[in-house]
Structure 1
């Protein structure tokens, strides 16, 4: 049965307008995004098939173009639209963070970093530069590549902090493997950067490891 043949009170689009997007399931939200299905397969059916195939909404959104297009009814156009929506969400989050009065809470920084880094297929080391009121000044990707094979130069982070006149920083890198546990190298790097930046009176508020849905906060674990 086509969605247009459903009672109006059951149609995802009408329910979203009437009751809000938060009341819809992942399947219903995807169906609205897909808009159309295939002959004999509604948008709801297509959404259910995609979620079943990938196992979760997160894996669907992280899929490569080739993986995405393996589902009959999904192609480059829908893939492009999906990633445009994801990027809009990231940029909206960035604007919120820039306008937020305080970014010192673990949850606020974590949510922002997960939005930016959780789905990256490569390892990256980024720094959030904050002012004296813990408001975001800039988000800079400082290094890219496996940290054990990439030389993280403290002088570059110090130079950028001075350029932005930052009072504090939040360090972050991701583990594409999905395991958020810090390595000994991660701990040594955190201690070294904290020590170097403290000489410039710049405080390291936290160091996050982002691993998909999971994360590790050095501050929350008393490791700073």
Structure 2
């Protein structure tokens, strides 16, 4: 009974701290504790939260971790792992709402933020295409390639096929480098050049190609590669 009272008191104090001071006043593991309260209602979740942060680095790393890795942490069941995956889904959905249907030029930082939310913690490469209308508003985001830690297959004609299906006038390419180095590879540069050439006869403009790494983002346009 004493342990239960202690847990309940601790949980109430954390909730009050969040309400009064906001999320910035809490450590990552404390925010994770608050989230885990609903998944594990009758147990001290502080050790679990700390173990998750230690294992995966930060909240983003925890949210992006595969279920099969999350359940290797003591105290994390498949049900709890599924709850943790909800964090990533909500984060991506909220970030997407900041850019969908809006001109990318006026919401560029939000667009980059959305891409980073989706890809900075991914453990294998993904190749995504953002499709824009004539007013440069984002109308769709599709994953057109999944691969290994250092390669995701990309088929330029498939990209153009999807662009025509969306009646898109422009594209932004996005892929991640799980290695942590956002520097475009020679393969990235050659593929982007080929894709730009394939798009040209269809009057589809390639605005940029973003490479997302854990700590930074590289832009082909900024680097003078487009």
After TM superposition, the score normalised by the length of structure 2 is: 0.81
- Partner residue in 1 for 2:188: 186
Q: CA RMSD in A?
A: 2.7
Three-state SS of the structure 1 residue aligned to 2:224 is: coil
- Partner residue in 1 for 2:53: 51
d(CA) in 2 for partners of 1:177, 1:154: 24
Say whether residues 1:111 and 2:109 are aligned partners. Answer: no
d(CA) in 1 for partners of 2:199, 2:127: 16
Three-state SS of the structure 2 residue aligned to 1:173 is: strand
- Partner residue in 2 for 1:4: 8
Q: Which moved more, 1:191-200 or 1:58-67?
A: 58-67
In 2 relative to 1, CA 73–135 (structure 1 residues): closer, same or farther, beyond 3 Å? same
Q: What are the within-5 Å matches in structure 2 for residues 28-39 of structure 1?
A: 28-35=30-37, 36=40
d(CA) in 2 for partners of 1:67, 1:159: 36
d(CA) in 2 for partners of 1:69, 1:160: 37
Q: Which moved more, 1:80-89 or 1:172-181?
A: 172-181
Asked if the contact 1:103/1:109 (under 8 Å) is kept, the reply is: yes
Q: What are the within-5 Å matches in structure 2 for residues 39-118 of structure 1?
A: 42-99=44-101, 101-104=102-105, 106-118=108-120
Asked if the contact 2:98/2:110 (under 8 Å) is kept, the reply is: no
d(CA) in 1 for partners of 2:124, 2:175: 10
How much has 1:106 moved relative to structure 2? 4.3
Which one of the candidate residues 155, 158, 177 is aligned to 1:156? 158
- Partner residue in 2 for 1:207: 209
- Partner residue in 1 for 2:123: 121
**Structure 1, unpaired ranges of 5+:** none
In 2 relative to 1, CA 163–27 (structure 1 residues): closer, same or farther, beyond 3 Å? same
d(CA) in 1 for partners of 2:11, 2:203: 63
In 2 relative to 1, CA 121–12 (structure 1 residues): closer, same or farther, beyond 3 Å? same
d(CA) in 1 for partners of 2:161, 2:210: 21
Say whether residues 1:216 and 2:218 are aligned partners. Answer: yes
d(CA) in 1 for partners of 2:65, 2:143: 23
Q: Deviations over 1:162-199 (max 9, x none)?
A: 22221211011222333222111111111222233233
d(CA) in 2 for partners of 1:217, 1:6: 45
After TM superposition, the score normalised by the length of structure 1 is: 0.82
d(CA) in 1 for partners of 2:147, 2:54: 32
